[in-house]
Structure 1
Amino acid sequence: MNVDLKDIVSSFCTEKNIPLVGYAASNRWEQPLFEPWIPADFYPHHILPETRSVIVIGLPVALPVLETSPSIWYHELYKTVNSLLDQYTVQLASLLSRAGFPSVFVPRDGYGSIEVLQKNPVAFFSHRHAAVLAGLGRFGVNNMVLTREFGPRIRFGSIFTTALIPSDPLVEDELCIHCNKCVSLCPANALKEGDYPLVLTDKPACTTQSASLNKRYISPCGICIKVCPIGEDRRVFHRGNTGIYEPGSDTDLFHGWEHVRKYGGK
Structure 2
Amino acid sequence: MLKFLLLTLHFYLYKKEQDIMSNILIIDDDIDLCNLMKHCVFNEGFTPLVAHTKQEAFSILSASSSVISLVILDIMLPDGSGLEILSHIHNNWNFPVIMVTAKDSLEDKVIGLRLGADDYLTKPFNLKELEARINALTRRYKLNISPSDSENNLLQFNTISIDRATRSVICNDTNVTLTGREFDILLCLSSSPNTVYTKKQIYESVWQEEYFYDDGSLMSIICKIRKKLKDCSPNINYIETVHGIGYRFNKEA
Larger Rg: 2
Q: Normalising to structure 2: TM-score of the pair?
A: 0.31
Q: Normalising to structure 1: TM-score of the pair?
A: 0.30
User: Quick one: higher RCO (CA 8 Å, sep 6+), 1 or 2?
Assistant: 1
Name the structure with the higher helix share: 2
